[in-house]
A = this chain, B = another copy of it.
Amino acid sequence: MTNEIAEGQNRSSSMERLRKLRKSIAEKELDALLISQPENLRYLSGFTGSGWLLISKQNTILAVDFLYEEQAKIESPGFEIIRIKQELHGWLPGLVSDLGWHKLGFEANLVSYDSHNRLSAAITARQINLELVPAAGIVEQLRSIKGPEELVLITKAARLADAAFEQANKMIRPGVTEKEIAWEIETILRQKGSEGVPFEIIVASGPNAALPHARPTEKAIRSGEPVLIDMGARIDGYCSDLSRTLFLGRANKTFQEIYDVVLKAQASAIEGTTSEMTASQADRLARTVIDQAGYGDAFGHGLGHGVGLAVHEFPRLGLSSSDSLADGMVFTLEPGIYLAGQGGVRIEDMAVLENGRLRVLSKAEK
């Protein structure tokens, strides 16, 4: 694919995203939406720095300070770039007033109590007729359904994680430390083209594997104990997320059993999840298997989460999730069982919902 074609595709997918967003803005009877969540900025404008995006029926304004002005011009050529010198409440009221907007949606899950208060006070002080309307998750909902150009990048990132896991797997032997394995994986990922790593790589062995978010330590790997590895790659902003648990030599009976339960729980979710389900129904497919095996209390987190420009995004698959599933969503399936002081097992794949069913993207050996 030549750069011209890629850029043409980027432009057309950007136009399509803005079209959908404007539909949502109109449905909510807003004049415009104020956006600063970094992945939302990138999704809509291509801009990868810090700033504020204002989208109305007519306008696509990207407001940035000195630090990001040149970068914004390069990354977001179709957008009106304005340079700001103050905090939000300093520049926004005047601009909104000039544009004649009266209902402005804002990311209420992100804008702090303080920022909102200062902005409200500035609007009142300047006697501007502007209502600030909490509007969380609009762009995140759009982002949860992936376009074909996004699926290409996510698939590349998933392949890269698979390849790095399989290459690193060869150096894992008794005596190697968790930190050494984590650094080996990161080196492979970066050398194969990952843009950094989307989250700190987890290599947790023995009792450390009972901590779902363990950090790699100087502990050396021993035969027979579980080694839990959780890692991902990033390609053109898009993330992957992969977990495997392995044993050097023979696992004891408890961990043999646990491993089988987790694998069955994952298989149940992969086979049974459909795009007609809610996210909590999908979670239950895996949870039932673990509950019935008697390990329900040891599976204390959700089944998975959406993956895209962010490594954790919509939908959230868990017992109490109110999200619905739909074709085009990409998410993880990562049941786990953790026994404090002993260790844990987690197996995580990424999958995409297509024609109503899941297609697994991760290929690393289990």
Copies in the complex: 2
Contact-residue size bin, chain A (C-beta under 8 Å from the other chain): 35 or more
Chain A interface (Cβ < 8 Å from any Cβ of B): 48-49, 65-71, 74, 86, 106, 108-117, 134, 136, 183, 186-187, 190, 196, 200, 210-215, 300-301, 320, 338, 340
Q: Which residues of B contact A187 (CB under 8 A)?
A: 187
Q: Check B215 against A48 for contact (C-beta < 8 Å).
A: yes
Q: Which residues of B contact A71 (CB under 8 A)?
A: 211, 213-214
* CB-contact partner of A301 in B66, B74, B116, under 8 A: B66
- Smallest CB gap from A215: residue in B: B48
* CB-contact partner of A108 in B106, B114, B210, under 8 A: B114
Q: Check B110 against A112 for contact (C-beta < 8 Å).
A: yes
Q: Which residues of B contact A214 (CB under 8 A)?
A: 71
Q: Which residues of B contact A49 (CB under 8 A)?
A: 213
* CB-contact partner of A340 in B70, B110, B117, B186, under 8 A: B70
Chain B nearest CB: distance from A238 CB in Å?
Answer: 16
**Besides the known contacts A48-B215, A49-B213, A112-B112, 6 further A-B residue pairs in the complex with CB atoms under 8 A apart:** A69-B300, A70-B211, A108-B113, A113-B113, A113-B116, A114-B134
Known contacts A196-B200, A200-B196: does B210 contact A70 (CB below 8 Å)? yes
Known contacts A183-B190, A196-B200, A215-B48: does B67 contact A300 (CB below 8 Å)? yes
* CB-contact partner of A113 in B111, B211, B301, B340, under 8 A: B111
**Could you list 10 A-B pairs, sorted by A, with CB under 8 Å?**
A66-B300, A67-B212, A86-B320, A106-B113, A108-B117, A109-B113, A112-B112, A113-B116, A113-B134, A117-B134
Q: Which residues of B contact A116 (CB under 8 A)?
A: 113
Compute how far the CA of A109 lies from the CA of B116 in the bound complex, rounded to whole angstroms.
Answer: 10
- Smallest CB gap from A48: residue in B: B215
Q: Check B114 against A67 for contact (C-beta < 8 Å).
A: no
Q: Which residues of B contact A110 (CB under 8 A)?
A: 112
Q: Check A301 against B213 for contact (C-beta < 8 Å).
A: no
Instruction: Please give me the 10 A-B residue pairs with the lowest Cβ-Cβ distance, nearest first.
Output: A66-B300, A108-B114, A108-B113, A113-B116, A67-B212, A109-B114, A70-B211, A71-B211, A109-B112, A111-B113
**Residue among A70, A112, A113, A134 facing the most chain B CB atoms (10 A cut-off):** A113
Q: Which residues of B contact A134 (CB under 8 A)?
A: 113-114, 117
